[in-house]
Structure 1
Amino acid sequence: MNREEISNRILRIFKEKEIIDDCKTVDMDISIQNEYGVDSAKLIELIVAIESEFDFEFDDTELDLRNYENINAVVDTVIKHLDESDLNK
């Protein structure tokens, strides 16, 4: 699985949770809290969905908001959890 595939899966989660609109162009670097109105409750919902999608759990130390500032940061955080072999498939 490569970065683009991971990004697409995360974007699908954001769309399913009605955070981003299918019709809008998505800026991967814009603040999800400021631009998309993600509050702490919605962020927890996203984290749970991402953990389920990728079949892993984030460590408590990774629940820092800086890891979820924007979609690219979320992608980077997910990539840290995937085996190197998964990234090269």
Structure 2
Amino acid sequence: MEKEQIVTKLTEVIHDVLPELDEVDMHANMVNEYGVNSVSLIRLLVAAESKFDISFTDYELALSDYDSFSDIAAVIAEKLA
């Protein structure tokens, strides 16, 4: 899957899980710019698992592992490779 396709599908997931976000800058800090916390991150990753048919390990669910949505997209790309 191309990077652009991953970003498009991830953006759909973000809007499903966090509908209060209008525009999403994939490179902005999720915590500072969008108020993402550990609970919303887990909800986002669980939704991404379904959308992309992948699995995140327990170790990959830590908010400290992701600064931006593009970090999540990079992990998804690795899992799909």
TM-score, L = length of structure 2: 0.85
Partner of 2:8: 8
Q: In the alignment, is the contact (CA less than 8 A) between 1:29 and 1:72 conserved in 2?
A: yes
TM-score, L = length of structure 1: 0.79
Q: 1:46 aligns with which of 29, 35, 44?
A: 44
Identity among equivalent positions (%) equals: 36
Partner of 2:77: 79
When the two structures are aligned, how many residues end up with a matched partner? 80
Alignment RMSD:
1.5
Structure 2 stretches of 5 or more lacking a match? none
- Structure 1 residue 12: deviation in Å? 0.7
Give distance in 2, aligned partners of 1:62 and 1:52: 16
Q: In the alignment, is the contact (CA less than 8 A) between 2:37 and 2:63 conserved in 1?
A: no
Structure 1 stretches of 5 or more lacking a match? 84-89
Partner of 1:20: 21
Give distance in 2, aligned partners of 1:40 and 1:5: 25
Deviations 1:12-64 (A, max 9, x none): 1111121521xx3x322111111111111111100100111111111223223
Q: In the alignment, is the contact (CA less than 8 A) between 2:38 and 2:62 conserved in 1?
A: no
